[in-house]
């Protein structure tokens, strides 16, 4: 894509250096933040659809993509939110507009709550912000963390990795272009000619474990920018889609309400909520189900 071939390197907290990808486009800047286990350039198909309207930037959050970290680095979501603040400061954008998926949505809300006014508007698809009762129900084994620890990291070729992930939920539900971007940019070459995950399974597991500990839900009242909350079909009360209405209700009223951002590469929304009847916090679009974090 048009933009930088090599990511911009931004010093953040704890000695972490965040890789920021310029995905090109013409217009005001838009920051897109990925979910746990993915990477910034998985947004490339979306950026192509937005190229005539906005200039897209996408960071690899710590422990993902080109933002590798040594073992023992703080992988809490509050630390990731601080990294986002460093990215926004480096871009030099006042009132940045951003969108995030799952962890990406949650850390955007954390960053805005920590410094209200950091963002001009947010669009969050199934942000992982556990309401109190949901957090209590997840005090046992973290199934996503356990699954991440078992994840296969090494493959003899990109084609082998693509075959593997294309047949396994939730990756099998990704748009083919998004899955191809994940395989291309979410893996690093190995000395034997194969590829290996850039987000190490042990790190991914830690990130999932931090997902219920960051307290974003209790800080929603500090968010000052307009927020659009989106979710897919609700088929599990302990998944982010089930919490969207509660998250929206926990956000302060903001005005004026921004034009909702819609991910053009994904399914089209089947219902638009009238902003005059929306819950507190600007609940915006209800979208058909697409996968949350892997």
Q: Is residue 134 part of a domain?
A: yes
Over its length of 294 residues, how does the chain's per-residue pLDDT go in tens digits? 444 479 999 999 889 999 999 999 999 999 999 999 999 999 999 999 999 999 999 999 999 999 999 989 999 999 999 999 999 999 999 899 999 999 999 999 999 999 999 999 999 999 999 997 665 555 566 888 999 999 999 999 999 999 999 998 888 989 999 999 999 999 999 999 999 999 999 999 999 999 988 999 999 999 999 999 999 988 888 889 999 999 999 998 543 344 444 443 433 333 333 333 333 333 343 343 333 344
Q: Is residue 40 part of a domain?
A: yes
Secondary-structure percent of the chain, ordered helix, strand, coil, rounded to 5: 35, 20, 50
The reported pTM is 0.85
User: Quick one: CA torsion of 263, 268, 271, 273, rounded to 10 degrees?
Assistant: 20
The answer for residues whose C-beta is within 8 angstroms of residue 277's C-beta and 6 or more apart is none
Helix then strand count (H, E) for the chain reads 9, 12
Q: What is the pLDDT of residue 236?
A: 83
Q: Is residue 28 part of a domain?
A: yes
- Selection from 17, 23, 30, 21 nearest residue 2 by Cα: 23
Q: Is residue 293 part of a domain?
A: no
- Residue 9, strand partner residues: 19
Q: What is the pLDDT of residue 238?
A: 81
Q: Is residue 166 part of a domain?
A: no
- CATH number for the domain harbouring residue 89: 3.40.50.1820
Q: What is the pLDDT of residue 170?
A: 82
- The total of other beta-carbon atoms located within 10 Å of residue 183's CB is 21
Q: Is residue 3 part of a domain?
A: no
- The total of other beta-carbon atoms located within 10 Å of residue 268's CB is 10
- Cis omega (within 30 of 0) on the bond before 113? no
- Cα separation, 52 vs 120, whole angstroms: 20
Q: Is residue 255 part of a domain?
A: yes
Number of folded domains in the chain?
1
Q: What is the pLDDT of residue 140?
A: 60
Q: Is residue 19 part of a domain?
A: yes
Domain that holds residue 256: 8-138+206-286
Q: What is the pLDDT of residue 133?
A: 61
Q: What is the pLDDT of residue 273?
A: 34
Count the alpha carbons within 13 Å of 3 in the hemisphere toward its beta carbon. 22
Q: What is the pLDDT of residue 142?
A: 85
Q: What is the pLDDT of residue 278?
A: 37
């Amino acid at each position: 894509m048009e933009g930088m071939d090599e990511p911009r390197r931004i010093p953040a907290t704890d000695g972490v250096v965040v890789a920021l990808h310029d995905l090109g486009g013409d217009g005001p800047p838009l920051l897109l933040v990925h979910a746990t286990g993915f990477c910034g350039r998985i947004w490339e198909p979306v950026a192509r659809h937005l190229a005539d309207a906005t200039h897209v930037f996408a960071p690899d959050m710590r422990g993902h993509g080109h933002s590798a970290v040594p073992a023992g680095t703080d992988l809490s979501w509050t630390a990731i939110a601080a990294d986002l603040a460093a990215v926004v400061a480096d871009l030099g954008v006042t009132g940045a507009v951003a969108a995030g998926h799952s962890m990406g949505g949650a850390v955007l809300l954390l960053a805005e709550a920590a410094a209200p006014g950091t963002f001009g508007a947010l669009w969050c698809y199934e942000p992982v912000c556990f309401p109190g009762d949901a957090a209590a129900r997840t005090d046992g084994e973290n199934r996503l963390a356990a699954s991440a620890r078992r994840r296969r990291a090494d493959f003899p070729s990109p084609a082998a990795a693509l075959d593997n992930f294309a047949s396994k939920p939730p990756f099998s539900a990704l748009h083919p272009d998004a899955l191809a971007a994940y395989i291309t940019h979410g893996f690093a070459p190995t000395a034997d000619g194969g590829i290996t995950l850039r987000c190490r399974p042990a790190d991914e597991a830690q990130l999932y474990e931090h997902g219920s500990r960051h307290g974003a839900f209790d800080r929603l009242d500090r968010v000052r920018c307009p927020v659009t909350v989106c979710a897919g079909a609700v088929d599990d009360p302990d998944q982010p889609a089930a919490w969207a209405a509660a998250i929206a209700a926990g956000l302060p009223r903001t005005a004026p309400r921004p034009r909702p951002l819609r991910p053009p590469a994904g399914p089209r929304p089947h219902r638009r909520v009238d902003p005059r009847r929306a819950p507190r916090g600007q609940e915006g679009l209800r979208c058909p189900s697409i996968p949350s974090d892997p």
